[in-house]
């Protein structure tokens, strides 16, 4: 199946004219699910949802704002996604869906991160239990935090907030898919010359394996100081990512003894071909777990390094654009 989702910090959805603009963008991109952050709506209603969503077949869930701050709403087409469960927190809403086309079960979490530093640890702790979910996960978020210095035009050095953010992503075993259209999702400051990446979709390996060629796209920004992000699931792959034996494993001290131990540990009954197949499955599980503990998820770290290289290049392009604009004003 093909799955399309939008996440967008709209900076308020109380105004009727603004809701028309939001609805037009959702209609144009023909999405199956939309998550809006910072709605600033203290009591979401079906009437407001219908003024934002497109079509008659809508279902929704929301975390109401606290005064004029925060608020999240998730709206989906129930012909495409069947709600299995919903959990709400102070900063997040998690909806577990079963895809109507193929029965695939996955959890979507919409998040609006706190702007106050003293509330950040409570925010990270709220996300922690989501790791226990036994199915595929996708999370869209306005974290109000960046992952690396390169994700801000201000630059600077790696700080404690960035380190904690990276730790949470690794603990939850999530990854950041490629972003098309630019490296930054927010602009502000004097003459909009400050840039940051505060918004993103994060997915786990199972979700990424199920949907082929999934990518994030930065969309035009008709309102708000945040850009909408479109996640295009691409389509259904024929199967999970195949297991690969890494040559670097053979260079690890004691690995040959471990392989021998695991091979002898796996005990099965049946024909010779059945026993061989089961032993290989058993070895695959052992190797995956050993790799995660010993090498700290190499694929994840490799992807992070590649993303950092991409952001360095994109940041340079954006800085040149700002310099050019400043010179044209003089």
pLDDT of residue 177: 85
Residues 16 and 130 occupy one common structural domain: yes
Tokens found for residue 19? 């809701």
pLDDT beneath 50, residues of the chain: 237-239, 306, 310-311, 313-315, 317-330
CB 201 within 8 A of CB 218: no
CATH number, residue 157: 3.60.10.10
CB 92 within 8 A of CB 73: no
In a domain, residue 141? The reply is yes
Output the pTM of the full model.
0.71
Residues 30 and 138 occupy one common structural domain: yes
Q: What are phi and psi of 212, to 5 degrees?
A: -80, 145
How far, in whole angstroms, is CA 201 from its chain's centroid? 3
Residues 291 and 167 occupy one common structural domain: no
| Separation CA 177–CA 287 (nearest Å) | 25
In a domain, residue 288? The reply is yes
∠ CA 212-213-218, nearest 5°, is 135
Residue 95 lies in domain: 4-232
In a domain, residue 126? The reply is yes
**Could you report the per-residue pLDDT of 127-151, keeping only the tens digit for each?**
877 665 556 777 776 566 788 888 9
pLDDT of residue 108: 95
pLDDT of residue 329: 43
Looking at beta carbons, which pairs linking 48-57 to residues 24 or more positions away fall under 8 Å?
A: 48/13, 48/19, 49/73, 49/75, 51/16, 51/19, 51/20, 51/23, 52/13, 52/19, 52/22, 52/23, 52/26, 53/23, 53/26, 54/23, 54/26, 54/27
pLDDT of residue 321: 43
- Counting the structural domains of the chain, the total is 2
In a domain, residue 313? The reply is no
Residues 288 and 217 occupy one common structural domain: no
Residues 93 and 184 occupy one common structural domain: yes
pLDDT of residue 238: 44
**Could you report the per-residue pLDDT of 14-64, keeping only the tens digit for each?**
999 999 999 999 999 999 999 999 999 999 999 999 999 988 899 999 999
In a domain, residue 315? The reply is no
| Separation CA 71–CA 64 (nearest Å) | 5
| Separation CA 40–CA 38 (nearest Å) | 5
In a domain, residue 310? The reply is no
In a domain, residue 320? The reply is no
Residues 36 and 102 occupy one common structural domain: yes
Residues 46 and 169 occupy one common structural domain: yes
Element (H, E) at 170: helix 160-171
Q: What are phi and psi of 126, to 5 degrees?
A: -65, -35
Residues 133 and 13 occupy one common structural domain: yes
In a domain, residue 312? The reply is no
Residues 142 and 109 occupy one common structural domain: yes
Residues 145 and 280 occupy one common structural domain: no
Q: What are phi and psi of 77, to 5 degrees?
A: -90, 115
Residues 264 and 149 occupy one common structural domain: no
Residues 286 and 187 occupy one common structural domain: no
């Amino acid at each position: 199946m093909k799955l399309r989702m939008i996440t967008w910090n709209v900076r308020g959805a109380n105004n009727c004219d603004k809701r028309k603009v939001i609805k037009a963008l959702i209609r144009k991109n023909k999405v199956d699910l939309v998550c809006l952050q910072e709605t600033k709506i203290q009591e979401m209603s079906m009437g407001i949802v219908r003024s934002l969503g497109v079509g008659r077949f809508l279902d929704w869930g929301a975390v109401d704002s606290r005064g004029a701050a925060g608020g999240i709403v998730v709206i989906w087409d129930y012909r495409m996604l069947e709600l299995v469960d919903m959990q709400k927190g102070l900063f997040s809403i998690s909806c577990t869906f079963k895809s109507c086309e193929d029965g695939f079960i996955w959890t979507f979490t919409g998040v609006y991160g706190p702007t106050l530093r003293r509330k950040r640890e409570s925010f990270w702790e709220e996300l922690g239990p989501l790791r226990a979910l036994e199915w595929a996960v996708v999370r869209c978020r306005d974290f109000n935090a960046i992952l690396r210095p390169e994700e801000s035009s201000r630059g600077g050095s790696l700080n404690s907030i960035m380190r904690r953010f990276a730790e949470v992503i690794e603990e939850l075993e999530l990854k950041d898919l490629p972003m098309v259209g630019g490296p930054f999702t927010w602009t502000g400051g004097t003459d909009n010359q400050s840039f940051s990446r505060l918004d993103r979709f994060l997915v786990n390996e199972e979700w990424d394996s199920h949907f082929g060629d999934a990518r994030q796209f930065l969309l035009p920004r008709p309102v708000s100081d945040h850009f909408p992000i479109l996640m295009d699931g691409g389509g259904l792959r024929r199967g999970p990512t195949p297991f690969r034996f890494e040559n670097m494993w053979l260079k690890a001290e004691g690995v040959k003894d471990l392989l021998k131990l695991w091979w002898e540990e796996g005990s099965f009954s049946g024909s010779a071909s059945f026993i061989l197949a089961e032993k290989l499955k058993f070895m695959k599980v052992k190797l995956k777990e050993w790799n995660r503990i010993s090498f700290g998820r190499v694929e994840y770290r490799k992807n992070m390094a590649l993303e950092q290289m991409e952001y360095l290049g994109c940041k340079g392009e954006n800085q040149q654009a700002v310099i050019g604009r400043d010179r044209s004003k003089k």
